[in-house]
Structures are given as C-alpha cells and as structure tokens.
Amino acid sequence: MTAHSELLESYYEELDPVRRLEYLNAYEEAAGSDDPVLSYRKGLYSYRYTDSKDPSRKVDHFMMALLTFMYLFKRGVIFPGLYTKEVRGIIKDMEGDERVHSDENMADAFRMEVRNAVRRYFDTCKSDSYHKKFFGIQHSTADEKETQRCLDTWRMSVGVANRLGLKEEMALFCQAVDEEYRLSRADGLSVEEAYRKYKK
C-alpha cells in the first residue's frame, strides 16, 4: 500500500469533516495526477459539507439525505408519486456527475462517500437518545436499537427505492448503504436479509 493510498483510506474512515479535509488535502498533495477522479472526490466533499446560502454554517447534505429518505419512505405510503421527483433530484445532486454511472473510479468514489455518511449515521445510533420509547422517557435495549437501525437503514435505501419506483436511479446509492451495513454486522447480513429477519 502506497503512502497516498493510506491517506485515502484514512479519509474515508474518518467521520469528522475537518479531519477529513486535512486527509483530503494531504492526499491531493501526495497523489497528484495519479488519481484520475481527484477533482470528483473534492467535489463530493464540497457538496456534502457546504451550505451555498451560508458557507459559515455547518452542514452534511449526505446525512440530511439519509434522514430525508427515511421520512419520505413513510410519507410515500399513499401518494408515492408526489416524492419521486424530490428523491431523484437529491440523488442527482449527491452524485454530482452523470459519469458516475459509466466510470468505475467515479462510482467507487461515490460509494465510499455514501458509506462514510452511513457510518456517521450508524455512529449516532449508539447514543442513548436513539430510539427512545414511551415519549422519549425510556431507553431501548441493545437488541431493540439494532432492530431499529436495520429498519431505518432499509427504509432509507431499499425501502424508499422500491416504494417510489427508483430502484435503477438509486442502485449505486443502495449498493453503498448495503456494503456499509454488512460490514457493521458480525454476521455480515445484507440490509434485505436482516430486514426479513427482524420483520418476522
């Protein structure tokens, strides 16, 4: 493994945006022209963490997308067509370049960015406030939290894609979510497999 590949690995492992930028800058200096999609990686970072209306405000558009997809999965029960355009637009904005569907290196960069966002979401699932019961008074057990994490992950990916008829448009995104979910489980179950297990 080269020095700059280690920096890239650290960039995708890190969850803090400030530290990630430090890794990205160091990677750019080390890799130079060796990375054909460096500008695309930088573009993904810029889109994800920049508020175009207020650059001083801290945002994470990828994390916001995950939460939006979960919300729209529930909202789309009766009139799914109302939200198809919105979700399609979010995915397009996240991808940033239509070549992501034909360029393997760009597709890999996009998947890794999505996986980083999913891992950041999973990190929030460890908190005591996640999935509280009885009007937020009682904490959930570890098993209840894990079940809810699976349901939420399924809803934000496979669930909303199926409900809104966007399986093709969301395929790359769903693949990335599934890859990260598998790695987060000791048994390596996919989102679909775990969902079927918990919905029995």
pLDDT tens across 139-189, in order? 678 888 899 999 999 999 999 999 999 999 999 999 999 999 999 999 999
The model carries a pTM of 0.92
Q: Band the pLDDT of 135: cuts 50, 70, 90.
A: very low
- The confidence band for 15, taking pLDDT boundaries of 50, 70 and 90, is very high
pLDDT level of residue 132 (50, 70, 90 thresholds): low
pLDDT digits (tens, 9 = 90+) for 89-102: 999 999 999 999 99
Give the Cα separation of 118 and 114 in Å (integer). Answer: 6
pLDDT of the residue at 54: 87
